[in-house]
Amino acid sequence: MRTVLNFIDGHPVAGSLGRMFDNISPGDGSLLGRVYEAGADDVDQAVAAARAALHGHWGSLDIPERAAMLHAVAAEIERRFDDFVEAEVADTGKPASLARHLDIPRGAANFRIFADMVRNVPAESFEMRAPDGARVLNYAIRRPKGVIAVVCPWNLPLLLMTWKVGPALACGNTVVVKPSEETPSTATLLGEVMKAAGVPDGVYNVVHGFGPGSAGEFLTRHPGVDAITFTGETTTGSAIMKAAADGVRGVSFELGGKNPAIVFADADLEAAVEGTARSVFANCGQVCLGTERVYVERPLFDRFVAALKQRAEALRPGDPHDPGTSLGPLISRQHREKVLSYYRQAVEDGAEVVTGGGIPAMPSALAGGAWIQPTIWTGLDDSSRVVREEIFGPCCHIRPFDSEAEAVRLANDTPYGLAAAVWTRDLSRAHRMAGVLNVGICWINSWFLRDLRTPFGGARQSGIGREGGVHSLEFYTELTNVCVRL
């Protein structure tokens, strides 16, 4: 059994509480290991170490040197690729093929892309005349914002954490990371990588624990934290925003969603079914950008439902290391209870269960895991909680529509605004739709394809701010305008 430690000031540490919590395998319910919980004193130490590193070597490094070090971090992640895959698969139960193709490569890419970006940021400058005719040069310089708290969810642990840590460090900040209590392992492993890559002690720190009354709250309330970047549920975002109000700290939030896919009758049916199946069932539906509402133009409706049903039923849950496995478990039995409550609600609300709706029969070795059937419903009213609330499981409701205007109205009828996918061969219509859907990212005839230099984030209750490319700079740096009378 393994022990997961905090990582403070360049060292793995147990912490002051001497208390541990269990790290449970979602695949079979077994005890994977135990995790040392950080107390308020440990969070203090981590923030102090991050502050010292900010004012020490890291803050004074030239950008090319800092960028080179982040490239070394990426290379070290790749050197320890199998360790990362193993840790991520153990914590999440996801198929190893997914971790190999998505989570871990993106973990490395998140350091490379931002290292390259900060080397290529143009500076703003303006020349003007003072009232007496003297020339005046204005130019803006970017400085690191300071100590950044990075609070992460469990669905794509390394990928989403490095999506924040990469740009934060590239911009010269130092970080204290609070990974999800469900998936602690890769954050601590990244500490080892930082050390091996020569990143100075204190630049990257990890404190383990929970949210309220634990490391998450201690960190986000800490007066030594200059800004908070958070990915997780909208209600948690709201709690963190209150904590950030003291000291008027900046926040960047990537929150929940209830994302629509809109399939027009002229769509390439095969591509639309394939893309929608991925967006509903990938990572067992635990992707913030995933689809939970599908709207299909009426002439295509029956064929689409039948084809998506076939895809759902072809998914194979099982051992993550078996190459034939295409569906992992949910993150925990507790989360499964939540998802199953929506499965029951759908039936109570009069849904037709097209497929799934329960727990699959699994071999006895995996029976203790958080397995769940991929599920499709039709026939729900637009007011059903199942159609309105984020479920975060491998499920969707499919509803017919009769006009473009109706599709837009239905898609936008949500407090969320993260992502949408539009499937049509009519490109004029696709562009029209993208212009009126109230979302942070709109896919046309695709899903989960994105250049990391583009803005990422959600509208409405799906987030605050945008990260990605130069947009990350806006959050992770402060601008100082320098005004020089020449």
Q: Which residues bind ligand NAD (CB under 6 A)?
A: 151-155, 160, 178, 180-181, 210-212, 216-217, 220, 231-233, 236, 239-240, 254-257, 288, 390, 392, 418, 458, 462-463
> In angstroms, rounded to a whole number, what is the distance separating the alpha carbons of residues 469 and 197?
24
Instruction: Report the nearest approach of ligand NAD to the CB of residue 216 (Å).
Output: 3
For ligand NAD, the closer CB: 164 or 397: 164
In the residue annotation, 390 being an active-site residue is answered as: no
Instruction: Report the nearest approach of ligand NAD to the CB of residue 237 (Å).
Output: 7
405 token code pair: 């205007």
Instruction: Report the nearest approach of ligand NAD to the CB of residue 322 (Å).
Output: 26
Instruction: Report the nearest approach of ligand NAD to the CB of residue 88 (Å).
Output: 15
For ligand NAD, the closer CB: 123 or 248: 248
Instruction: Report the nearest approach of ligand NAD to the CB of residue 16 (Å).
Output: 19
Sign of the CA dihedral with 50 first, then 51, 56, and 61 last: positive
> In angstroms, rounded to a whole number, what is the distance separating the alpha carbons of residues 212 and 315?
37
**What's the Cα-to-Cα distance from 351 to each of 266, 399, 409, 412, rounded to whole Å?**
27, 11, 21, 22
Helix, strand, coil proportions of the chain in percent (round to 5)? 40, 20, 35
For ligand NAD, the closer CB: 98 or 152: 152
In the residue annotation, 395 being an active-site residue is answered as: no
For ligand NAD, the closer CB: 242 or 431: 242
Nearest position to ligand NAD, beta carbon: 211
Number of C-beta neighbours around residue 379 at 10 A: 15
Instruction: Report the nearest approach of ligand NAD to the CB of residue 225 (Å).
Output: 11
**What's the Cα-to-Cα distance from 334 to each of 24, 245, 371, 427, rounded to whole Å?**
11, 31, 11, 43
User: Phi/psi at 289 (nearest 5 deg)?
Assistant: -85, 0
The single residue of 76, 88, 217, 254 carrying the catalytic annotation is 254
Burial of 348 (0-12, 13-18, 19+ CB in 10 A): exposed
For ligand NAD, the closer CB: 72 or 437: 437
- Written as one string, the DSSP assignment of 391-436 is --SSEEEEEEESSHHHHHHHHH-SS--SEEEEE-S-HHHHHHHHHH
Instruction: Report the nearest approach of ligand NAD to the CB of residue 332 (Å).
Output: 10
Nearest one of 67, 83, 116 to 452, comparing CA atoms: 116
For ligand NAD, the closer CB: 267 or 439: 439
The single residue of 284, 288, 396, 442 carrying the catalytic annotation is 288
Instruction: Report the nearest approach of ligand NAD to the CB of residue 141 (Å).
Output: 30
For ligand NAD, the closer CB: 160 or 407: 160
What value, to the nearest 5°, has the Cα angle with vertex 355 and ends 353 and 359?
A: 100
Residues 411, 434: contact at Cβ < 8 Å? no
Q: Please name the amino acid found at residue 166.
A: G
For ligand NAD, the closer CB: 331 or 354: 331
Q: Please name the amino acid found at residue 6.
A: N
User: Phi/psi at 62 (nearest 5 deg)?
Assistant: -70, 150
- Written as one string, the DSSP assignment of 37-94 is PP-HHHHHHHHHHHHHHHHTHHHHS-HHHHHHHHHHHHHHHHHTHHHHHHHHHHHH--
> In angstroms, rounded to a whole number, what is the distance separating the alpha carbons of residues 5 and 15?
8
Catalytic site positions: 254, 288
